[in-house]
Amino acid sequence: MTPLRFTALLAATQLVIARPIAAPAKVTVKQGEQPTATLPKGTPQAHGLATNWTWSESSSVKSVSKNNGVPVSISQVDDLKKFARLATVAYCTDSFQGTSFTCKNYCSDFPGTIVLSTFDTPEYGTVGFIARNDNQKAIYVVYRGSSSTTNFAQDIKFATTSYPAGGEVHLGSFVGIPHADQWKITIFHIIVPGFYENYEESRDLVYNTVVSQMKKGYKLHLIGHSLGGSVAVLQALDFYQNAGFDNSNTITYTYGEPRLGDPDFARYVNKTGLRIFRTISMNDIVPHLPPSAFGYLHHSGEYWIKNSAGDVVLCAIADDDTCADSTVPFTSIPAHLLYWE
């Protein structure tokens, strides 16, 4: 698999992590349970997950005899690759000149695209851009990930808050999602900005621009890498609840998205019927944060790049332990930065 590099993060990360480790693991099995693994002593780790493990499909310690993932079509993989390239562009928005969609990498893959707005919010540093392509009848909202994946993995802390139907979450002033029950939503208190704070600070600009630009027959594409993927999902839910957008005109692509909430929230996201393509590269560490042991669950739509050849499978069950979860605890920060070309 030729890597698509999120270069703004890669160089900084390589300065602070040790050499990749591929030492033998200690595996223990209790009756009636899945095999569990212990990282070798001295393995660099965060929250019980290795930060730089060299992993291959055959090295899974969970003894997966059959992967539950379903191979996806070449055209689907091409779409995932295409929008991964657009996610990369969010790391170089400073090269845009006015409405001109120009940059060193990948902008030429989207001819006819014009920049409507860029944003780099003052308090929480939410970075991204909004663009339109009339040839494709497409609106693109693209969010950059956190500025330091290493800090993200090491310093993330976990807490939840609940909100009533139609209410607002005080932290981050998150727009409430109307429904019958109260739902728990993750609030991340981390050195890099929190998910809701990131979402809230860019929300009005994104929402108002998209609503004013959407035309009949156009589709909205929300795209984000890492933390940006989480913001993209939250913004998709906002459009669904407040602008009446649905799976006929809204598609979300995330790459290396962390877990966003608890099982109730994951079920809510699934029930909306929105098209969300949540891609994970091999043993990328970030999608396994916060750890499921803390009560967090991904929403559905996992597309797992299961090997270095770039083969992709669709895993229908969230956090299926025969898919990306089969790599735990042998995860890697570098895998978070290398997707496709």
Rounded to a whole number of angstroms, the distance between the first and last alpha carbons of the chain is 8
Kindly state the greatest CA–CA separation across the chain. Answer: 63
For 254, phi and psi rounded to 5 degrees?
-125, 150
Parallel, antiparallel, or unpaired for β 158-163 and 183-188? Answer: antiparallel
162 is catalytic: no
Whether 291 and 48 have beta carbons less than 8 Å apart is answered as: yes
321 is catalytic: no
The residue count of the chain comes to: 341
Beta bridge partners of 277: 253
Query: How far, in Å, CA of 206 to CA of 217, rounded?
Result: 20
Query: How far, in Å, CA of 40 to CA of 312, rounded?
Result: 29
Q: What's the CA angle centered on 10, arms 4 and 13, to 5 degrees?
A: 150
Query: How far, in Å, CA of 11 to CA of 243, rounded?
Result: 40
**Which candidate in 60, 146, 147, 226 is catalytic?**
226
Query: How far, in Å, CA of 340 to CA of 135, rounded?
Result: 25
226 is catalytic: yes
Whether 207 and 250 have beta carbons less than 8 Å apart is answered as: no
Query: How far, in Å, CA of 257 to CA of 82, rounded?
Result: 17
Query: How far, in Å, CA of 278 to CA of 280, rounded?
Result: 7
**Which candidate in 221, 225, 230, 284 is catalytic?**
284
Q: Which residues are catalytic?
A: 226, 284, 336
